[in-house]
Amino acid sequence: MKNHILSALRLSLVMLIIVGLYLGIVYAGSKILPTQGNAEIIHDQGQKFYVNIGQNFSSPKYFHGRPSAVDYNAAGSAGSNKGPSNEEYLQTVQKRIDTLKMQNPEMQNVKIPVELVTASGSGLDPDISPEGAFYQAGRIAKARNISPDKVENLIKNQTETSLFGPSKVNVLKLNIALNKLK
């Protein structure tokens, strides 16, 4: 029995060192990032916004982000946990498709980007694809009475490209830049 206890203690000590080193490396690595491992915060019009958390924009004058299964509540991050064969989930997605087509009537025959009608796994994804933003450009240009070219150029300027992943547009940053358009 003494041998088992000593073996267990040695294994625990080795694992503590390995996990500690791993956490130290991850922590040190995060400090070389532009935000140093912290949330990116934007102050706009006297309000504080977290860039890495999805926000609810419902006005026709703003770009809409991904739907949220948790109503954009960062304290309760979660997905719907319903699969593509779940009838209730399919009805929810169909309602979102109908609403999106109603809000963007000029896009009736255009393929809808999937992120505009499905929630992310966390329910808090702050980004959409450039296609998702371009899908909404006509509605926003009309609601704000500005040129569609201006809106499309804004989307292009706000698109972030990645070496390893797809291009993306942060909806909060895009809407703040939209407010600054003259």
* CA neighbor of 69 nearest in space, from 49, 104, 96, 42: 96
H/E stretch holding 128: strand 127-128
The pTM (predicted TM-score) of the whole model is 0.79
Gap between the Cα atoms of 141 and 103, Å rounded = 13
Task: Render pLDDT for 7-22 as a digit per residue (tens, 0 to 9).
Answer: 999 999 999 999 999 9
Reported as a pLDDT band with limits 50, 70 and 90, residue 1 is confident
Q: What's the CA gap between 157 and 181, in Å, rounded?
A: 12
What is the C-alpha to C-alpha distance for residues 166 and 16, in angstroms, rounded to an integer?
37
Residue 69: pLDDT band (50, 70, 90) is confident
User: What is the pLDDT, as a whole number, of residue 178?
Assistant: 94
Domain boundaries, the chain: 1-38, 40-180
pLDDT greater than 90 at residue 73: no
pLDDT at 116: 94
